[in-house]
Structure 1
Amino acid sequence: MAAASHGLDRDRLAELGAVAAARLGQAGVELVALSFVDNSGVSRVKAVPVGRLAQAAAWGVGASNSFDFFLSTDTIASGTHSLGPVGDLRLHPDLDALTVLAAQPGWAWAPVLRYDQDGHPHPQDSRALAATAAARLADRGLSVRMAFELEWVVTDADEVPLPGPAYGYPRLSAHNDYLRAVVSALDSQQMDVEQIHPEYAAGQFELSIAPADPVRAADLAVLTRETVRAVTDAYGMRASFTPKFEPGGVGNGGHVHLSLWDGDRNLCAGGTGPFELTDTAASFGAGILGRLPALLAVGAPSVVSYLRLEPHHWAGVFTAWGLENRETPLRLIRGAAGQRDTAANLEVKSFDLTANPYLATAALLFAGEAGIAADAQLPDPVDVDPGTLSPAEATAAGVTRLPISLTEAITAFETDDVLPSAFGPQLATTLMDIRRAEVAELGSLEPAELCRVMRWRH
């Protein structure tokens, strides 16, 4: 008789784990990192020897409930649903996502799903929430393909950013071996790199991974960051994914690209709406645009996020959208003529890499699905920097400033009519409890000190 509980077929999981362990052993893997992303956007990890993988798959690995209340500074906050030091969860690796790590010889990685000791899904499991959001769209016959862009600053061992002009070939030339090593490691992990290049700020680089289904896209965001970090460390340098490396500088974004599909048809192209959006894709985009103030509590979830969200910095800080407009938080990218049926997508520019990518994924999908349900309409697109509009022009276009602080974003989330319910009362409450705790701990810091404290946390 199978040792099943609440949907966990433990005997079957043990069998699959043993097969996976044998495969990993043949590849020279000795240890498996099992990771999840906490509510503050930090990847937390336990690890098991490969010989224990079958046991971990069937019965999980213990982890405290308190991780739900960790701040990015490692302070453990209190909250409505906190159990303090009491209780235990079980981390079950997703064996389908097992990856041999090219930049960490002898290691493999797997994302986990969190259950309680009786086999019930943990209500604050962000990866499961992303899957739920995708399933709700699937019930409508729709799917989403997503990708995260990663930006990071590389410094020498003394924390001085690498020199070179913005987008400059000299920076690529000086560090071509490093960039090749990053791409080679990702290629070895069957991750499809679309492009990598120097970015605007000193030492800044950007990397784009090809789109995937929503949960896989979030997995890839986690794995890409840790691969970049490992390669950077191996070269005697440091990688910072913070939204603002230093006051006054250009920030690191975590832009999210989404295209909405009906079977094999991309609904972001070939329609009769603005710039050939279909009505369904336009409503999906309108759902996201209309909830951006609340979405920032998920996608720009740290105090330091709001140092990045400045006008005229291509971060998208006004309630506007446009075709290829890099100053709008919702940007329609059509792609080259002849390729738009596959390339067209919506880009959310105001998110950063302090966000938990699974929560960001879920929030965007819930918002877009709500837009479809309500037959929401996009306003007229904006074809200028919205920060240059006069007050009268902005009012006429319905353009307002997005939240300028995490406190404002918290209020927007809590008063939203969709997101708290979709996240569930326990997770929605806990998220805002720890956001307030971060404001209490970090909100009074001067920008230079805030940047210093947060520089290496994500």
Structure 2
Amino acid sequence: MSQLDRAALSARAGQLAGELGARGVDLVALTFVDNSGIARTKAVPLARFAAAAAWGVGASNSFDFFGFNDEIVPGEHSLGPVGDLRLHPDLDAVTVLAAQPGWAWAPVTKYDQEGAPHPQDQRGLALKATARLAERGYTALLSFELEWVVTAEDSPDDLGGVRGPAYGFARLSRHAAYLRAIVSTLDAQGVGVEQIHPEYAAGQFELSVAAADPVRAADVAVLARETIRVVSEQHGLRASFTPKFAPSGVGNGGHVHVSVWEGERNLFAGGDGPFGLTSAAAAFAGGILRRLPALLAIGAPSVVSYLRLEPHHWAGVYQGWGLENRETPLRLIRGVAGNRDTAANLEVKCFDLTANPYLVVAALLAAGLGGVDERAGLPEPVDVDPGVLTEAERQARGLTRLPQSLTESVVAFEADAVLTGAFGAELATTLMELRRAEIELFAGTSAKEITETMRWTH
């Protein structure tokens, strides 16, 4: 909304406050995710919730320039200590926190003091990208997969405390109460859990949630991660979503699933293209594929991200796509026969959870629409692990290696007019300033030092 209807917001929030109070809520946590992928928060007592909805809660502009380590990075658009933004909770997303008695939660959208949208508001950008998709006659469904590792709280650097083989029932059984608590808590908060299971790496688990409207999907990613963090602590565990807990191992991904719809029709099924793709879905996927190097600056935005992006780790490091190919960064999922009209989607495997999910939403939708505008096509699908091919064979198939460093991704992002245009000059500039500050911070450091520094940040 470009103009805030303060009276309507106050009335609606006042009604919600009554409902929340009846459920024992005393405080509401208001969150936003910054440009370094960290969820930041302010909280208001329930008695102040209506005023917060109408007039916002103050927050410094400097949050746009926070690094992962809480250092404020100087930037072209920084006002330093000067200025103020207003955080307005999304009243449709207010959620009572089942594992934190007395608390509710809501994501916020940022406005300036005149009531105009803040140009660096990440959630606002995702809302705008979703609206732009709708203007073209399309909708999208997205979901984020969350992978994390847990350690014993009294041994936070040791994965040995969470024993059991990869995907093993023994690991699930050992932590059955913990996993049950996560699912029941999320269920009570309105999050549709599709699957939860032990993953490949030591101490690792994965959660899949139901697909939703793009902005709702990003909200759920934030809520689910913070819920996992809280429930882990209540069970004597500590959760880390870092892409690489230690230099060895496969690391944590943050895969994104996306499907595009025209009315009630899923454009990733029932078409005349490869594996049932429609021409619009192929163009959308082609736009993402050709922009993957630039998209990594948004979806794999940290120096530690590139320690995870290795061949044979199911992270997808060669620029290609394939049907159910877990070694391509874009994996087409058809679903089982008889269910493809609803199940077919595209999985982006090269992203991780240091990313801001709202920026991921905005970037993927912009890249996909860019492909539609360009009538982008898809190359031949890849039906093998690209890593087992010779370099000559990869070149013949057009399978180039994705960026192997954050520096390469930053260069690719800045050269992409579609993405920088969608993000706007101010936000695009600030994001890359933060990326370069992190690159400089870790210059000359070892993989061990990087993983240890980033281990408990995300």
Q: Provide the TM-score with structure 1 as the length reference.
A: 0.98
Query: How far 1:444 sits from its partner (Å)?
Result: 2.6
Give 1:303-382 correspondences, 5 Å limit.
303-382=303-382
**Shift in Å at residue 393 of structure 1?**
1.4
Which piece of structure 1 moves more, 393-402 or 211-220?
Answer: 393-402
CA distance in 2, matches of 1:417, 1:395: 26
Query: Is 1:453 aligned with 2:453?
Result: yes
1:398-431 Cα offsets, whole Å, 9 max, x none, are 1100000000000000011210011000000000
The secondary structure found in structure 2 opposite 1:347 is strand
Quickly say closer, same or farther: Cα 1:400–1:6, change in 2 above 3 A.
closer
Q: How far has the Cα of 1:12 moved from its partner?
A: 1.1
Cα distance in structure 2, aligned partners of 1:386 and 1:75:
39
Aligned to 1:202: 202
CA distance in 1, matches of 2:443, 2:21: 48
What are the superposed Cα offsets for residues 18-63 of structure 1, whole Å, 9 maximum, x if unpaired? 1111110000001100000000000000000111100100110011
Match of 2:110 among 104, 107, 114: 114
Q: Where in structure 2 are the equivalents of 1:134-153 lying within 5 Å? A: 134-153=130-149
Deviates more, 1:300-309 or 1:389-398: 389-398
Counterpart residue number, 1:257 = 257
SS of 2:68's equivalent? coil
Match of 2:284 in 1: 284
Task: Name stretches of at least 5 consecutive residues in structure 2 with no aligned partner.
Answer: none
Amino-acid identity (%): 68
- Say which SS state the counterpart of residue 110 (structure 2) adopts: strand
- Between the aligned partners of 2:309 and 2:117, the Cα distance in structure 1 is 35
2: CA distance, partners of 1:18 / 1:268: 42
Equivalences for 1:115-194 in 2 at 5 Å? Answer: 115-157=111-153, 158-159=155-156, 160-161=158-159, 162-194=162-194
Q: Which amino acid aligns with 1:77?
A: V
Aligned to 1:16: 12
- Candidates 32, 46, 50, aligned match of 2:42: 46
Count residues in correspondence.
454
Return the alpha-carbon distance in structure 1 between the equivalents of residues 273 and 242 of structure 2.
Answer: 37
1:382 and 1:273 mapped to 2: Cα distance?
A: 15
Counterpart-to-counterpart distance in 1, 2:164 and 2:447: 25
Cα RMSD (Å): 0.9
Residues 302 and 438 in structure 1, CA contact (< 8 A), matched pair in contact too: yes
Structure-2 residue corresponding to 1:94: 90
SS of equivalent to 2:145: strand
Contact 1:285 / 1:378 at 8 angstroms: preserved in 2? yes
Deviation readout 1:70-107 (Å, 9 max, x if unpaired): 11111110111011111110100001100000111110
Is 1:55 the counterpart of 2:66 in the alignment? no
The corresponding residue for 1:221 is: 221
Structure 2: distance between partners of 1:387 and 1:283: 26
Q: Could you tell me which amino acid in structure 1 is paired with residue 59 of structure 2?
A: A
Matching residue's letter, 1:39 = N
Q: Take 2:445 and 2:139, find their aligned partners in 1: how far apart are those partners? A: 42
User: Could you tell me the TM-score, scaled by structure 2's length?
Assistant: 0.98
Deviation at 1:443, TM superposition (A): 3.4
1:110-132 per-residue CA deviation (whole Å, 9 max, x = no partner) reads: 00000111111100001111111
**Distance in 2 (alpha carbons) for counterparts of 1:228 and 1:267:** 33
* Secondary structure at 1:96 match in 2: helix
Matched, 1:66 2:43: no
Q: CA deviation at 1:230?
A: 0.6
- Given that 1:94 and 1:113 are in contact with CA atoms closer than 8 Å, whether structure 2 keeps it comes out as yes
The one-letter code matched in structure 2 to 1:286 is: G
Q: In structure 1, what is the equivalent of residue 237 of structure 2? A: 237
Aligned position for 1:431: 431
Output the CA distance in 1 between the equivalents of 2:444 and 2:262.
Answer: 47
CA distance in 2, matches of 1:108, 1:141: 35
List, as ranges, runs of 4+ consecutive aligned residues in structure 1 with deviation greater than 3 Å: none
Distance 1:149 1:102 in 2: 21
1:298 & 1:196 partners in 2: Cα distance? Answer: 26
* Residue 390 (structure 1) shift: 1.5
Equivalent residue letter for 2:148:
W
User: Take 1:360 and 1:241, find their aligned partners in 2: how far apart are those partners?
Assistant: 16
Helix, strand or coil: the match of 1:293? helix
Report deviation, 1:442.
2.1
Residue 332 of structure 2 aligns to a residue in which SS? Answer: strand
TM superposition shift of 1:6: 5.6
Partner of 1:211: 211
Worse-superposed segment, 11-20 or 144-153:
11-20
Distance 2:102 2:277 in 1: 47
CA distance in 2, matches of 1:248, 1:400: 24
Q: Distance in 1 between matches of 2:388 and 2:132?
A: 39
